[in-house]
Each structure stands twice: as C-alpha cells, then as structure tokens.
C-alpha cells in the first residue's frame, strides 16, 4: 500500500536549513534526503528519532521477547 | 518522524544563485559567450588612484559580484563597502540571498524526486516553512 512521505524544511532567516523527515522508517529516510543535503551545503547536525532504529525485523523480535517475559511472570 | 538535519547552506549552484538574485530583486549579469569572467571595478579608499579590478563569474552592477572559490566550490561575494548602496547592509543582503538560494534549490531537488509542495509559509521570524510530500 502506498505510504505518504513528508519532508518539512525550515529555511531560517540566515539561509541555513533544518529538515525534518516524517513517516519514512529506517535508513530510507537518509537515502531520501542525503543528496539534497549535500547540494545545499554542509551538514551541521543530524538527530535521529526512535523509528530510525525500528526497522520492521527488529521491531517484531522485540515484541516476541516482551510477550514471553510477561507470560512467565 | 525519522530524523532532523541542520544544514549550513553554501552557494555552490550557479543556476540557483542566479534565480535567488532575481528573487531578491537583482539583475544578475553572466558573461557573454566566449568570456569567462566579468571585471568589477572596486574603489580603494586608502589609495584613491588605484581601482583594483576583480574577475567574477556573476556580477550585479559594476561593483558587486560573485566569484567562484575553486577550493571550497562555493561562490563568494565580492563587494565594495564604500560604494554599497542597497537598502540593506551587506550581511543582511547575503542572508536574504542565501535564504532564497536554499529555497530555489530545495524546490528544484524535491520536484525532481517526485515531491509536491504542500505548504509554503513565510513566518513571523522571517523563516520560510516548506512542506513537501509524495506517495511511495
């Protein structure tokens, strides 16, 4: 099913840019924006949110472990 | 949400630079075919008899231009503070130019990737908020 990918740019008064990638999980969000970032200039800071680390396989593993622990208790 | 990036914008793209200059009301001149540079005449207040010339790739008027720094790959402003007659100081001019440059570059690049502009707002703090999206 197609998913909506959104990027929000804030171009500050001094011309420097903050970019927020929304709804693109894992490393796909980097692939999406990296070449735009390179064309714009020098990357000063990159902050990842939780869903960057939650690629689908890892996410399923986490759920299984937690459930088993709950049952034992 | 997946990540936030902060980018320091550098003026490296000639087309976006020319578009940005037009957006802030300037009329950039680029060299005619066959010539690689335009000569600016700058005043030298301490040696009034000397008017050094600087070769630039893009000029606006006779004493303001942009020269490509081959080491950094970025265009640098060449101007004469003595004859600067625009309604904003040089530093503010560069900010306005850089903001429009980033805007033109982002528009072009996201459209090439199949994004559409959803919203674009000029905020009270003079920043521009631009939201783009696509279905994938």
Q: What is the 3-state secondary structure (H, E, C) of B46-86?
A: CCCCCCCEEEECEEECCCEEEEEECCCCEEEEEECCCCCCC
| Contact at CB, A18 and B12, closer than 8 angstroms | no
pLDDT score of A52:
65
Q: DSSP letter at B45?
A: T
CA B121/CA B62 separation, integer angstroms:
35
State the average pLDDT over residues A59-73: 46
State the average pLDDT over residues B111-125: 95
More confident residue, B134 or A25: B134
| Contact at CB, B128 and A32, closer than 8 angstroms | no
**Which residues in chain A have Cβ-Cβ distances shorter than 8 Å to B125?**
13
| Contact at CB, B135 and A19, closer than 8 angstroms | no
Sign of CA dihedral B80, B84, B86, B89: positive
Distance of CA B136 to the CA centre of its chain: 33
CA B73/CA B82 separation, integer angstroms:
28
> What residue spans of chain A are helical by DSSP H?
28-40, 56-72
Tens digits of per-residue pLDDT, A15-49?
999 999 887 776 776 777 888 999 999 998 888 87
pLDDT score of A55:
56
Q: Which residue of B has its CA nearest to A4?
A: B135
Nearest residue, CB atoms, B127 vs list A10, A21, A29? A10
Calculate the average pLDDT of chain B.
87
Apex B14 CA angle, B117 and B103, nearest 5: 25
pLDDT score of B51:
65
Sign of CA dihedral A30, A36, A38, A44: negative
In the sheet that A4-11 helps form, which strands lie side by side, from edge to edge? A41-48, B3-9, A17-22, A4-11, B128-135, B116-122
Q: Which tokens belong to A68?
A: 């088993």
pTM of the model as a whole: 0.82
pLDDT score of A19:
94
Tens digits of per-residue pLDDT, B21-67?
999 999 998 876 545 566 666 665 565 556 667 888 888 888 888 99
| Contact at CB, A44 and B6, closer than 8 angstroms | yes
Q: Which tokens belong to B53?
A: 């010339």
């Amino acid at each position: 099913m197609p998913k909506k990918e959104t990027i929000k740019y804030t171009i500050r008064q001094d011309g420097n840019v903050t970019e927020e990638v929304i709804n693109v999980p894992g490393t796909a969000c980097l692939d999406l924006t990296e070449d735009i970032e390179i064309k714009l200039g020098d990357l000063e800071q990159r902050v990842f949110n939780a869903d960057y680390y939650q690629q689908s396989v890892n996410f399923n593993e986490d759920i299984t472990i937690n459930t088993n622990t709950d049952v034992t208790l | 949400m997946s990540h936030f990036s902060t980018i320091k914008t550098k003026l490296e793209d000639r087309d976006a630079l020319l578009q940005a200059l037009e957006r802030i009301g300037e009329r950039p001149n680029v060299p005619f075919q066959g010539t690689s540079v335009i000569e600016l005449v700058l005043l030298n207040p301490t040696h009034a008899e000397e008017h050094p010339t600087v070769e630039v790739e893009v000029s606006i008027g006779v004493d303001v231009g942009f020269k490509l720094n081959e080491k950094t790959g970025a265009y640098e402003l060449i101007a004469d503070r003595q004859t600067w007659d625009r309604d904003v100081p040089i530093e503010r001019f560069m900010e306005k130019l850089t903001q429009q440059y980033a805007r033109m570059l982002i528009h072009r690049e996201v459209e090439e990737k199949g994004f559409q502009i959803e919203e674009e707002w000029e905020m009270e703090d003079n920043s521009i908020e631009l939201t783009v999206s696509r279905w994938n």
